[in-house]
Amino acid sequence: MDGVGKVFAGEVTALSDMNLTLAEGEFVSLLGPSGCGKSTALRLIAGLMQPTTGKVSWQGRHDTGDLGVVFQEPTLMPWATVEKNVWLPLRLRGEKLDAMRPRIREALDMVGLGKFANAYPRELSGGMKMRVSIARALVTQPRLILMDEPFAALDEITRNRMNDDLLALRGRLGCTVIFVTHSVFESVYLSDRIVVMAPRPGRVAEEVTVTAANRDQDFRTSADYAGLCRAVSAALSRATGDT
Ligand SMILES: Nc1ncnc2c1ncn2[C@@H]1O[C@H](COP(=O)(O)OP(=O)(O)OP(=O)(O)O)[C@@H](O)[C@H]1O
């Protein structure tokens, strides 16, 4: 994102002069208070809307299949099976279900739901629905996954488990991830880099790099983790003008 600004209806400046560069394979979190423009930044990167100023660009070839999006709500079609929900982005590209079954099965296996292809969303727990939503984002084998507070509605135990599963998936696929969260703890656990955003107008305030040999229970309970959480909390307070 190069000098990106977004003004809604000529008056609400959601983002101003936002500059952000991602390296291939990087896991970056956008962290900031409500209304600082995190979702707007994701929507601009996804190409769902155009910036008012500046530009969003990709290095090299880029098409819509390069992008997977996961929202806070799983947004599944309640009348369709898990398999047909995951098929959706392929179907929109004109792919037939029969031909795509192996690929859908592979995506479901990746999120541990291989046995639930014929289940309906109402038969699944909140965590399982979110896994289906992640499988749907992965099925096109995207280079970049955009996640907008995907685990915010889950209980803490499920959320921690989903964090570990996401890290394992990302390790296997090598894809780039942009992850929006309100949680300092989650951002430190998951990210290579945390972009702390400031509100009114939304912009990048500070960046914190996280280096950790392993992301596991030992890391979660380590002094390094606690220190990073303190540093990110302090950056967030500075960004929001709290002392
Ligand atoms: N379509 C829209 N029309 C007008 N204003 C909008 C629109 N979308 C967002 N905004 C405004 O832009 C600002 C940034 O909103 P955005 O949803 O990007 O913030 P956010 O950081 O993702 O917030 P949250 O953490 O609560 O989801 C807010 O002031 C919001 O009211």
Q: What is the CATH number of the domain that holds 11?
A: 3.40.50.300
Task: Determine contact, residues 65/91, Cβ cutoff 8 Å.
Answer: no
> Which residues have CB under 6 Å of ligand 1?
8-9, 12, 14, 32, 34-40, 202
pLDDT of residue 214: 87
Taking CA atoms only, the protein residue closest to ligand 1 atom 12 is 14
Amino acid identity for residue 106 in this structure: E
CB-based contacts of 93, cutoff 8 Å, min separation 6:
65, 140
pLDDT of residue 158: 83
CB-based contacts of 85, cutoff 8 Å, min separation 6:
76, 77, 121, 132, 136
CA of 31 to the centre of ligand 1 (A): 14
CA of 61 to the centre of ligand 1 (A): 30
- Closest CA relative to residue 124, chosen from 161, 89, 76, 69: 76
pLDDT of residue 74: 87
pLDDT of residue 29: 97
* Number of domains making up the chain: 1
Taking CA atoms only, the protein residue closest to ligand 1 atom 6 is 8
Taking CA atoms only, the protein residue closest to ligand 1 atom 1 is 8
Q: Could you give the CA distance from residue 151 to residue 227 in angstroms, rounded to a whole number?
A: 24
pLDDT of residue 242: 67
pLDDT of residue 65: 66
pLDDT of residue 64: 65
Query: Which of 30, 40, 186 for a ligand 1 pocket mutation test, highest count of atoms within 8 Å of Cβ?
Result: 40
pLDDT of residue 161: 85
**Total-model pTM:** 0.90
201 to 21, 151, 160: CA distances (angstroms): 20, 26, 32
Q: Which atom of ligand 1 is nearest to the CA of 43?
A: 18
Q: Which residues of the chain have pLDDT under 50?
A: none
Q: Could you give the CA distance from residue 124 to residue 111 in angstroms, rounded to a whole number?
A: 14
Question: What range does the domain containing 190 cover?
Answer: 2-240
What is the complex's ipTM, to 2 decimals? 0.96
User: Tell me: the pLDDT tens digits for 147-206?
Assistant: 999 888 888 888 888 899 889 888 888 889 999 999 999 999 999 999 999 998 999 999
